[in-house]
Amino acid sequence: MPNALVWFRNDLRLADNPALQATLRAGFDPVPVYIHAPDEEGDWAPGAASDAWRHRSLLALAADLRARGSRLQVFAGPTLATLQRLVAQTQAEAVFWNRRYEPAIESRDATIKRALRAAGARVESHAAALLVEPWQVQTRTGDPYRVFTPYWRSVLGQWRLPPSSEAPAQLPSPLVLADALAIDSLGLAPTRDWDRDFWKQWTPGEHGAQAAVQSFLAQALDGYRERRDRPDLAGTSRLSPHLHFGEIAPWRVVRMLDAIGAGEDRDACVRELGWREFAHHLLHHFPHTPGANFNPRFDGFPWAEPSAQQLQAWQRGRTGIPIVDAGMRELWHTGWMHNRVRMIVASFLTKNLRIHWQHGARWFWDTLVDADLASNTLGWQWVAGTGADAAPYYRVFNPVLQAQKFDPRGDYIARWVPELAPLAPAQRHQPWTGAVPRGYVEPMVDLAESRKAALDALARNGR
Ligand code: FAD
């Protein structure tokens, strides 16, 4: 049978893989390839934590392909030239891939598609990462949505989920390409083992993703709506890196939720997946927003000039505000942070310290294993108050009240800031009300004063 390249990207799975399925359905022998080209991602080449995850996820995909008689062959970019060479070497008649939505990647892929087609190849890109393509829903006036609730209502009114499909049991053995690289040679794995604690709780790859859903359904779905805001409980799915790397299809997650039955926990979880969809809708329609305020009224906002010392205190979890420090240390040690705490640390940076959200977004980009241009941009602009459908800038989270409400016994704080563990639970939220324990720090800002300074800055900005 004729060959077709199946170009793997952020779709590192064999089940529910539309590009792979289409290749087989069209009667081609798939030649699975991966091309490493971080410099083609514009200003947002993947960060260190993403690379560490991708390394393991590629190894998992390679093993899964090998178990089916196939083989993942890995190359370094530039992508177009590499694909052209591979098409020639394998005499492939077609190239299939699943879509990505980051602006730099979208335009690169469009160029690649045109060039390959011009040379006579059949080229297909498929929908694999989302429940709804970003351009599939629009307002009555034909514009993109800017507010989540009507966006989501419109999605729910028209979505058609694909059926789940299992990974092929067997795949043809592809031509072996002499110049394929070892995954280890891509330089994705850290040279020093700063990521060693990550893998105590994460298993990158399709099997890890499916196990994560199973364990979420068995242990945390019940009560999810109530518990999802509690960082002290294992109350959420932790699926975000698996979804980002395409190790599981979002529609499989929805179908698995549906198989358990209707209910408010199921609806709350699907709604969170809806925020991920909305983030991609916004990124597609407003591609400048990773680097610029969605709301241009903030373009002249008097952000403070951050000192290296301030930024480092925030990054390392040494601000003296326990819930902020707990979150930043969780991020450093695990590559992930609970959503509620992401909001708290982002509010502290952009409001109490009045540091531009871009500084925070960049740090998250480098340290999160789920770093995702769409969701990270939405999250930061939402908290900073500069975004579409954002929390207004004047709504400044009080990190002590937030901690009291969502980490009532201070267990989460004690886990990540062990200096505070000996304190009574109520004191862990604000240790400065007594003697701050040795090894911990005094708050780097006064919460009330810095809140007032943020509101004054907002007034100066004319809002
Ligand atoms: P669950 O509560 O189990 O939710 C299920 C899935 O829904 C998640 O895996 C995720 O894919 C999606 N989801 C949930 N909440 C959101 C949300 N608010 N926005 C978009 N998708 C959501 N998420 C990322 O995947 N990558 C990022 O880079 C990212 N950066 C963020 C930055 C900030 C400042 C904030 C406030 C949020 C950010 N989020 C990001 C969203 C959210 O924090 C994570 O998706 C969530 O914490 C992942 O945990 P979970 O898988 O256990 O979520």
Q: Which two tokens stand for residue 162?
A: 């694909």
Give residue 262's pLDDT: 80
Nearest residue (by CA) to ligand 1, atom 52, is: 238
From ligand 1's centre to the CA of 79, what distance in Å? 30
pLDDT of residue 276 exceeding 90, the answer is yes
Alpha carbon nearest to ligand 1 atom 23, residue? 375
Ligand 1, pocket-test mutation among 102, 254, 272, most atoms within 8 A of CB: 272
Q: Which atom of ligand 1 is nearest to the CA of 337?
A: 47
pLDDT of residue 110: 98
Among protein residues, the one whose CA lies closest to atom 37 of ligand 1: 379
The whole-number pLDDT of residue 391 equals 77
Fold of 130-162+205-285: 1.25.40
Average pLDDT over all residues of the chain: 96
Contact 4, 26 (CB under 8 A): yes
pLDDT of residue 445: 97
pLDDT score at 461: 82
Q: Which amino acid is at 41?
A: E
Atom of ligand 1 nearest to the CA of 376: 30
- Closest atom of ligand 1 to 346 CA is 34
Query: pLDDT at residue 402 above 80?
Result: yes
Residue 116 makes CB contacts below 8 A (sequence gap 6+) with 83, 84, 87, 95, 123
Q: Which atom of ligand 1 is nearest to the CA of 360?
A: 34
The CA 342 to ligand 1 mean position distance, Å, reads 9
What strand order describes the sheet that includes 3-8?
Answer: 73-76, 29-36, 3-8, 94-98, 122-126
- pLDDT (tens digit per residue) in 161-170: 998 999 999 9
What are phi and psi for residue 76, nearest 5 degrees? -105, 150
Which residue's alpha carbon is at the smallest distance from atom 48 of ligand 1?
Answer: 240
Architecture of domain 296-461: Orthogonal Bundle (1.10)
Nearest C-alpha neighbor of 130 from the set 376, 380, 390, 375: 375
Which of 102, 240, 252, 273 to mutate to test ligand 1, by most ligand atoms within 8 A of the CB atom? 240
Say which residue the tokens 């390394």 belong to.
Answer: 55
pLDDT at site 463: 56
Q: pLDDT category, 261, cuts 50, 70, 90?
A: confident
Taking the complete model, does pTM exceed 0.85, yes or no?
yes
CA of 339 to the centre of ligand 1 (A): 6
Distance CA 377, CA 355 (A): 16
Calculate Rg over the CA atoms of the chain: 23
Three-state secondary structure readout of the chain? CCEEEEEECCCCCCCCCHHHHHHHHCCCEEEEEEEECHHHHCCCCCCHHHHHHHHHHHHHHHHHHHHCCCCCEEEECCHHHHHHHHHHHHCCCEEEEECCCCHHHHHHHHHHHHHHHHCCCEEEEECCCCCCCCCCCCCCCCCCCCCHHHHHHHHHHHCCCCCCCCCCCCCCCCCCCCCCECHHHHCCCCCCCCCCCHHHCCCCCHHHHHHHHHHHHHHCCCCHHHHCCCCCCCCCCCCHHHHHCCCCCHHHHHHHHHHHCCCHHHHHHHHHHHHHHHHHHHHHHCCCCCCCCCCHHHCCCCCCCCCHHHHHHHHHCCCCCHHHHHHHHHHHHHCCCCHHHHHHHHHHHHHHCCCCHHHHHHHHHHHCCCCCHHHHHHHHHHHHCCCCCCCCCCCCCCHHHHHHHHCCCCHHHHHHCHHHCCCCHHHHCCHHHCCCCCCCCCCCCCHHHHHHHHHHHHHHCCC
Per-residue confidence at 389, pLDDT binned at 50, 70, 90? confident
Which residue, 281, 250, 237, is CA-closest to 389? 281
pLDDT of residue 220: 87
| Beta carbons within 8 Å of 196's beta carbon, 6+ residues apart | none
Half-sphere CA count of 11, side-chain side, radius 13 A = 29
Give 337 Cα–ligand 1 centroid separation in angstroms.
Answer: 9
pLDDT higher than 90, residue 112:
yes
**In this structure, which residue's CA is closest to atom 11 in ligand 1?**
240
Angle of helix 250-260 versus helix 264-285 axis, rounded to 10: 160
Compute the distance between CA of residue 295 and CA of residue 302 in angstroms, rounded to an integer.
Answer: 15
Whether residue 435 has pLDDT greater than 70: yes
Peptide bond between residue 174 and the one before it cis (omega within 30 degrees of 0): no
Which residue's CA is minimally distant from atom 6 of ligand 1? 273
Ligand 1 site residues, Cβ closer than 6 angstroms:
228, 236-240, 243-244, 272-273, 275-276, 279, 339, 342-343, 346, 364, 368, 370-372, 375-376, 378-380, 383
**Residue 228 Cα: closest atom of ligand 1:** 2
pLDDT, tens digit, 9 for 90 and up, residues 176-207? 998 999 999 999 999 999 999 999 999 999 99
Q: Whose CA is nearest to atom 25 of ligand 1?
A: 240
Q: Are 151 and 48 in contact (CB under 8 A)?
A: no
417 Cα to the center of ligand 1, angstroms: 23
Atom of ligand 1 nearest to the CA of 273: 7
**How far, in Å, is the centroid of ligand 1 from the Cα of 279?**
10
Residue-wise pLDDT tens digits, 308-320 = 999 999 999 999 9
**Nearest residue CA, atom 12 of ligand 1?**
273
- Could you read off the pLDDT of 66-86 as tens digits, one per residue? 999 999 999 999 999 999 999
pLDDT in tens, 359-375: 999 999 999 999 999 99
> In the chain, what are the domain boundaries?
3-128, 130-162+205-285, 296-461
Distance 148 CA to ligand 1 centre (A): 15
**3-128 fold:** Rossmann fold (3.40.50)
Q: Which residues are catalytic?
A: 272, 275, 303, 339, 357, 380
Ligand 1 centroid distance, CA of 137 (Å): 22
Percent pLDDT > 70 in the chain is 100
Do the Cβ atoms of 92 and 124 come closer than 8 Å? no
